[in-house]
Amino acid sequence: MRLPKTPSLRLDGRRALVTGAGRGIGLAAAAALAEAGAHVTLVARSAAEIEDAATAIRAAGGAADALTLDVLDVVAARNAIAAAEPFDVLVNNAGTNRPKPFTDVTLDDYDAVMDLNLRSAFFVAQAVAMRLVAAGQAGSIINISSQMGHVGGANRTIYCASKWGMEGMTKAMAIDLATHRIRVNTVCPTFIETPLTRPFFQDAAFKANVLSRIKLGRIGQVEDLMGAILFLAGDAAGLMTGSSIVVDGGWTAE
Rounded-to-integer distance, Cα 147 and Cα 188, Å: 5
Rounded-to-integer distance, Cα 103 and Cα 178, Å: 41
Rounded-to-integer distance, Cα 170 and Cα 146, Å: 13
Rounded-to-integer distance, Cα 251 and Cα 99, Å: 19
Rounded-to-integer distance, Cα 15 and Cα 64, Å: 10
Q: Do residues 41 and 84 lie in contact, with contact meaning Cβ atoms separated by under 8 Å?
A: yes
Instruction: Look at the chain and count its residues.
Output: 254
Instruction: Give the pairing type, strands 182-189 and 139-144.
Output: parallel
User: Looking at 123, 159, 164, 231, which residue is catalytic?
Assistant: 159
* 110 classed as catalytic: no
What residues are labeled active site?
Answer: 159
